[in-house]
Structure 1
Amino acid sequence: MKIFTMGDSLAQGFRSLSSARTDQCYSTLIAQVLQADPYRYPLWPHGGLPVDLERVMRRLEARYGSNIRAFEWLTVLQTINDVLDESETFYERGEGSENTPYPGGDRFWHNAAFWGATVADAWQVTPAVCKQAIRAAKSSRDEFLGVPNASYYRTALKVLNPQLDPALDGISQLGWLEHHARAEGVENLLLWLGANNALATVIQLRIQQTPNDPRNRPHQLGYFERASFGWNLWHPGDFAPEYEHLMNEVTRIMATNKAQDWRVFVGTVPEVTIAPLAKGVGETTEIDGSIYYKYYTYFPFEADFAHTSKYQLSLQDALHIDQCIHRYNDTIKSLVKAANARAGKPRFFIVDLCKAFHDIAWKRNDAQPPYQYPSDFEFIYPKVDSKYYHADETGRLRQGGLIGLDGVHPGAIGHGLLAWEFLKVMRDAGVNVDGAKINPEALDWSAIFASDSLYSSPIRIMREIYQNTRLAETLLKLLGAWKD
């Protein structure tokens, strides 16, 4: 097997609040450059889980055009609910339900990532866990503006056990890695976990940190016990042993690898506070060359919303989250160095995605991001950046283009840049294709730009999110379904 992928939403291709486009994610682009055939992954009808915001906005645009007029607001919620109902029907009771095997007979995928996964979920989340959670969430009726229940577990179930084979109910992401390493061998492992040990802080705009109790580390608890605490930020003292366990398991598994010339490419954790979902408002402060804001609230709201609502992070909160993440990355780099020392040769390679995301960030760099884009970006028009997506009523992209509508996850173009970052490290590590070093320039940027529907066909009704908080508030309510 030329390539196997472990990770979370970023590795799965989560897009605009849904697990929809694994075909466009960075690992699939890398597999294409590697000429890895087959490289199988699931597709997600009806926009995926929990809800595809782009699909919602396209439906609104199809019905109302580029703006919603006075009396039409009476029907907007029903229009949104119609989209959600289609997804609920498919995933709770239809062909996508937990009782129906994935069509086509695929027993496994080459991409085992699923959205919402923390580091420990790489071994704690199994099909058995998913089935238990889905049973507990069962409801006899559809809720208005509701999404498929247990969406996180429904996604993980179909990733880990697409044919619902009872013999595989105990398998995890690590379990599949071990299976493939022993069966046919894994030449290149893409490993990117850790973002979800901090990401919910900017989704919930609050911090609930793990206690750093050496007697009860989060990853030592049972899955459901750990989940019951609602932690959204791992203390660095809790993150370190959790990631160390992951690295020890990966090292153990790869030592049994049938492929002798194997490599592991390990992504660092991005600063989640740069996500455009968390809008910086108020006065700015420069700290260590980076720009921080007095408050962070939900896009597109302004400072008064941050002052009068509970939805805010302070400057101190944002700094604390970033400092935790920097410690996470220190841990990852230290563990990779130690693993290579034990192996006696470079086997593990850092892909510094934290730096890449930081360099791309528009506001964090005071509108002067230093990121060096591939040469294909030099004369593209319209230009893309990391700001929250916006297009005008004529269908012209005004800003954004790298991040999807959930304000956190990259679109197809953003995934192209992630692939670019991985491929540069893979080239330097000596990965070959047909006897020659893998070439990051082999990415087909024309196809990537064309495949990004937010860029190639901008949403004309986006103005309503900017000009009418009613729609923005309704869509923000769906964030609660991110991990149920």
Structure 2
Amino acid sequence: MRKSLTADMLDAKTPQDVNVQTEARKPASDPTLGIPVSVNRTGTPRHRLVSLGDSLTHGFQSGAICKTQLSYPALIARELGWFEALRFPTYGGPGDGLPLNLENLARSLEAQFGDTINWYEYPPLLAFLRNYLDQIEDYWERGEGTHLPATEGINHNLAVYGWDLRNTLSRNAEICQAILDQNPPRDNLLRQIVEHHNERAALRVLNSARDAAGNALSPVQAAAALGAEGTQETPNQGDGIETLIVLIGANNALGSILTFRVNWTDEGYDDMAVNDRYTVWRPIHFQAELDQLVAEVRKIRARHVIWGTVPHVTIAPFARGVATKVRDGSRYFPYYTLPWISDRDFDPKRHPHLTCPQIRAIDSAIDQYNDSITAAVRQARLEGQDWYLFETAGLLDRLASRRYLEDPTARPEWWEEVGGQYELPAALQALSPVPDSRFFLSNETGRIRGGLFSLDGVHPTTIGYGILAQELINVMQLAGVRFYQADGVTERQGRVNIDFARLLELDTLMAKPPSLVARAIDQVGWLDTRFRLFSGMMMASY
């Protein structure tokens, strides 16, 4: 039986429109929501796959946008036999990505100092780090990274890390370029991070997204332009896009986890010039933004549209639950703090943190976001549009190690009804240890734990993206999408499965884990506990 709310479960600053619950929302088990739709399959859409979203769709990993050829849209396109036609941005540079690829940094440190960094090596370590960061900063702010590569047409992957619903509706390349023009880079000796890295990354996504007059388009406008190109048989008529994936909304709550501050939206929530002050959107404000996005997506000529729910961002191991659960059967810990601060060292008076009631309120707000997304899909299907619901939230819930898998008493009433613990592909289950959602750790013996989240504790590893791709492929096959061999001609029969053995070889964190991650985390934790060095830097950089 569902438990009742008690006073200690509530945070006094939570707005009244947040419907705080004791149990997570039950994910939908049927992407069609039980509503049949007759699909007009006349003609061959010019674009087989287009995606709107944020970092999860863009391909962010270990602190950087990198390896975009292994983003989930790219993995799906490969299975479609359409990878060579897929247009997506790429990012390289001396640090392999933007703004800071933690895996590349870990391997560079390992090459320079071995698998252990001793205290007497700190002076050369600091010199090494300054030079390493300086090269990355110079490349993107003054060097080759400032030159945008030529793109033959609008990109198919239109996601940009860090963007929320309003950005997807309104932000474009001209806005991003104007911000860069108004803020010329400065060589900051103390804060050597690429300035305005988000705008620089976004330009590679959207610079080619323009109308016939050269006017810049937002991501949703760019998708509409691709849809308007029509079918191969009838240009400018029919569905120009076969499958459109919309997976957006995590950044309407993720700021609370990254900053360990809960600032609910108020006036100006829809103003891109000022809404960065907020870290969680109130459900009424999310609904207002979603209504506008849904209206724009309805205009896009896409044969099938898949809407993803918003994952419970509080499950990401970047925000680590401290000590033991607040009570038997609870899914929550009393405090959540940075992953390198141990239970023994944690001090709520000194360290950034969120409380159990705050985490519950964030999760409850996300559940309301997802109710709104579900309602939009339901209404579209009732009106004959072939929209589907992809349960990103349910998928992450079923992979949540510390919240549910290690504590069966905390599992919601619907747990077994939706399939229980997510069954990993056989190639992943054969690994030791089996990959899980805990913070990634490795040493000279190999991976110690984790494996589904990359080194930033928020974004998936390559195999994690493979799981997303597989589940979306399942929805696409339900929609009747045809998959082909690499030649794009020979149709594949039966269930289409991602080759996880291949992905394991491509996932460098899994294939060759950096040997100093565990020791580095210990050293970062020691320094942060005493001097609040790294947590202070993290808070200042958000």
- TM normalised by structure 2 equals 0.80
CA contact (8 A) 1:423 1:440 kept: no
Cα 1:351–1:437 shift into 2, 3 Å: farther
Which residue of structure 2 lines up, in the alignment, with residue 367 of structure 1? 406
Higher Cα Rg: structure 1 or 2?
A: 2
Deviation digits for residues 393-421 of structure 1 (CA, Å, limit 9, x no counterpart): 23x11101111111000010100011111
Which residue of structure 1 lines up, in the alignment, with residue 219 of structure 2? 173
Deviation digits for residues 24-68 of structure 1 (CA, Å, limit 9, x no counterpart): 111111111111240121211132221111111111111111101
C-alpha distance in 1 between matches for 2:90 and 2:493: 27
Cα 1:183–1:206 shift into 2, 3 Å: same
Please give the secondary structure, in 2, of the residue aligned with 1:431: coil
CA contact (8 A) 1:285 1:292 kept: yes
The Cα shift of 1:79 comes to 1.8
Which residue of structure 2 lines up, in the alignment, with residue 297 of structure 1? 337
Deviation digits for residues 146-168 of structure 1 (CA, Å, limit 9, x no counterpart): 11110111111121005999954
Which residue of structure 2 lines up, in the alignment, with residue 74 of structure 1? 123
Which residue of structure 1 lines up, in the alignment, with residue 233 of structure 2? none
Give unmatched runs, 5+ long, in structure 1: none
Which residue of structure 1 lines up, in the alignment, with residue 413 of structure 2? none
Say whether 1:387 aligns with 2:428.
Answer: no
Cα 1:166–1:48 shift into 2, 3 Å: farther
Cα 1:391–1:6 shift into 2, 3 Å: same
Which residue of structure 2 lines up, in the alignment, with residue 19 of structure 1? 65
Which residue of structure 1 lines up, in the alignment, with residue 14 of structure 2? none
Amino acid at match of 1:463: A
C-alpha distance in 2 between matches for 1:156 and 1:139: 17
Deviation digits for residues 66-118 of structure 1 (CA, Å, limit 9, x no counterpart): 10122101222222222211211111111111xx231x544432111110010
Which residue of structure 2 lines up, in the alignment, with residue 446 of structure 1? 501
1:43-442 equivalences under 5 Å are: 43-46=90-93, 47-97=96-146, 100-102=147-149, 104-161=150-207, 168=214, 170-184=216-230, 185-211=240-266, 218-219=269-270, 221=271, 223-227=272-276, 230-254=277-301, 262-285=303-326, 291-303=331-343, 304-342=345-383, 344-345=384-385, 347-367=386-406, 370-394=421-445, 396-433=446-483, 441-442=496-497
Cα 1:412–1:481 shift into 2, 3 Å: farther
Cα 1:12–1:105 shift into 2, 3 Å: closer
Greater mean alpha carbon deviation, residues 452-461 or residues 304-313: 304-313
Please give the secondary structure, in 2, of the residue aligned with 1:96: helix
CA contact (8 A) 1:80 1:145 kept: no
CA contact (8 A) 1:4 1:111 kept: yes
The Cα shift of 1:372 comes to 1.6
Please give the secondary structure, in 1, of the residue aligned with 2:401: coil
The Cα shift of 1:329 comes to 0.4
The Cα shift of 1:306 comes to 4.0
Structure whose residues are more often helix by fraction: 1
The Cα shift of 1:265 comes to 0.9
CA contact (8 A) 2:210 2:217 kept: no
Greater mean alpha carbon deviation, residues 126-135 or residues 431-440: 431-440
The Cα shift of 1:136 comes to 3.2
Please give the secondary structure, in 2, of the residue aligned with 1:270: coil
Cα 1:5–1:163 shift into 2, 3 Å: closer
Cα 1:466–1:87 shift into 2, 3 Å: closer
The Cα shift of 1:295 comes to 0.1
Please give the secondary structure, in 2, of the residue aligned with 1:32: helix
C-alpha distance in 2 between matches for 1:318 and 1:161: 38
C-alpha distance in 2 between matches for 1:35 and 1:475: 44
Deviation digits for residues 199-253 of structure 1 (CA, Å, limit 9, x no counterpart): 1111001101102xxxx5623x3x21334xx111000010011111111100022
The Cα shift of 1:341 comes to 1.5
C-alpha distance in 2 between matches for 1:432 and 1:79: 51
C-alpha distance in 2 between matches for 1:271 and 1:74: 41
Query: RMSD of aligned C-alpha atoms?
Result: 2.4
C-alpha distance in 2 between matches for 1:247 and 1:253: 10
Please give the secondary structure, in 2, of the residue aligned with 1:191: strand
The Cα shift of 1:274 comes to 0.6
C-alpha distance in 2 between matches for 1:321 and 1:24: 30
C-alpha distance in 2 between matches for 1:375 and 1:420: 13
Cα 1:91–1:480 shift into 2, 3 Å: farther
C-alpha distance in 2 between matches for 1:166 and 1:92: 30
C-alpha distance in 2 between matches for 1:53 and 1:164: 34
Question: Which fold has the larger relative contact order, with Cα–Cα distance below 8 Å and residues 6 or more apart in sequence?
Answer: 2
The Cα shift of 1:263 comes to 0.3
C-alpha distance in 1 between matches for 2:536 and 2:75: 33
Deviation digits for residues 309-357 of structure 1 (CA, Å, limit 9, x no counterpart): 2400000011010000000000000011111112x25x11011010100
Q: Percent identity?
A: 29
Which residue of structure 1 lines up, in the alignment, with residue 30 of structure 2? none
Please give the secondary structure, in 2, of the residue aligned with 1:187: strand
Please give the secondary structure, in 2, of the residue aligned with 1:371: coil
C-alpha distance in 2 between matches for 1:439 and 1:83: 49
Say whether 1:35 aligns with 2:35.
Answer: no
- TM normalised by structure 1 equals 0.89
Cα 1:482–1:119 shift into 2, 3 Å: farther
CA contact (8 A) 2:177 2:199 kept: yes
Amino acid at match of 1:311: P
Amino acid at match of 2:402: K
The Cα shift of 1:122 comes to 0.7
Amino acid at match of 1:231: Y
CA contact (8 A) 1:351 1:422 kept: yes
The Cα shift of 1:125 comes to 1.1
